[in-house]
Amino acid sequence: MNLVLIGYRGTGKSTVARRVALALDWDWIDTDVELELRAGRTIAAIFADEGEPAFRDLESQVLADLAARDRTVIAAGGGVVLRPDNRAVLRTLGRVAWLRADADTIAQRLAADETTRDRRPNLTVAGGREEIEQLLAVREPLYAECADVTVETSGGTPDEIAAEVLARVRPMLSPESRP
Condensed to tens digits (0 to 9), the pLDDT of residues 132-163 reads 999 999 999 999 999 999 999 998 899 999 99
Q: CA 154, CA 172: separation in Å to the nearest integer?
A: 24
Amino acid identity of residue 102, one-letter, is D
- Phi, psi (rounded to 5 degrees) for 98: -90, 115
Is the pLDDT higher at 178 or at 24? 24
Read off the CATH number of the domain in which 23 is found. Answer: 3.40.50.300
Q: CA 95, CA 3: separation in Å to the nearest integer?
A: 5
pLDDT at 126 over 80: no
Alpha-carbon 63 to chain mean position: 11
CA-based torsion, 76, 81, 87, 89: positive or negative? negative
Which residues, 6+ apart, have CB-to-CB distance to 48 below 8 Å? Answer: 121
Q: Which range, of 57-61, 85-89, 172-176, averages the lowest pLDDT?
A: 172-176
Cα torsion 84, 86, 89, 91 to 10°: value is -70
Q: CA 16, CA 28: separation in Å to the nearest integer?
A: 10
Provide the 10 A C-beta neighbour count for residue 82: 17
Q: What DSSP designation does 169 have?
A: H
Range of the domain at 102: 2-177
Domain count, the chain: 1
Mean pLDDT, the chain, whole residue set: 90
Radius of gyration of the chain (CA): 15
Q: Give percent above pLDDT 90 in the chain.
A: 75
Please write the tens of the pLDDT for every residue from 81-118.
999 999 999 999 999 999 999 999 998 888 876 665 55
Please write the tens of the pLDDT for every residue from 60-75.
999 999 989 999 999 9
Which residues, 6+ apart, have CB-to-CB distance to 26 below 8 Å? Answer: 3, 20, 71, 72, 73
pLDDT at 128 over 50: yes
> According to the model, what pLDDT value does residue 176 have?
53
Q: CA 127, CA 106: separation in Å to the nearest integer?
A: 13
